[in-house]
Amino acid sequence: MKKIKLILYILSFTLIFLNNLNADNSQQIDKISKNLRCLICQGQSVYDSQSDFALSMKVLIDNKIKEGKTEKEIYDFLKNKYGEWIVYEPEIGLNTILLWVIPLILFIFGGILIARKVSIK
C-alpha cells in the first residue's frame, strides 16, 4: 500500500514538473497579450478578452513564438498591421513625448513642493 502511494506521489510530481516545462510558452503568450489592446472590445487587453479576434491573436502569438520570433518582432509585426495603437505602451516619438515627459515633470515639481514645505518647517 505504501509503495503504491509513493509511486503515485512521484508520478504526480513528475507530471507537474513536465507541465511546468511546457508552460513557458504560454507564459510568454500571456506576457505579450497583456500588452496588446483588443480592437473589438476596446478597453480590454487581448489577454482578458474572449472575443474571436483576441482568441485568434493568442493563437497567432503562439505560432510566432514557435517560429522563433522575439517579443519585439511580434509587436512590430502587429504594429505594422494595426498601427501603433494596438500596443499599450506607446513608443517615444514626437507625438508621444509629452505623454512620457509630463509625469516626470509633475514628479519633480511635487518633489520640489515637498522639499520646500519641509525646509520651511
* Contacting positions for other proteins (CB under 8 A): 39-40, 42, 52-53, 55-57, 59-60, 63, 80-83, 85-86
Residue 25: which residues within 8 A CB-CB, separation 6 or more?
62, 65, 66
Residue with cell 478597453: 43
* Closer of 47 and 82 to other proteins (Cβ): 82
Least distance (Å) between residue 18 CB and other proteins? 26
Give me the least distance between CB of 40 and other proteins, in Å please.
6
| Distance of closest approach, residue 95 Cβ to other proteins, in angstroms | 13
Residue 73, number of CB atoms within 10 A of its CB:
13
CA dist., res. 47 & res. 106, Å (int):
31
| CB closer to other proteins, 40 vs 114 | 40
* CB-nearer residue toward other proteins: 32 or 86: 86
Q: Could you say which DSSP state residue 85 is in?
A: G
- Report the distance separating Cα 84 and Cα 106, nearest Å: 26
**Would you give the DSSP letter of residue 3?**
H
Residue closer to other proteins (CB basis): 17 or 43: 43
Q: How far is the CB of 104 from other proteins (least distance, A)?
A: 19
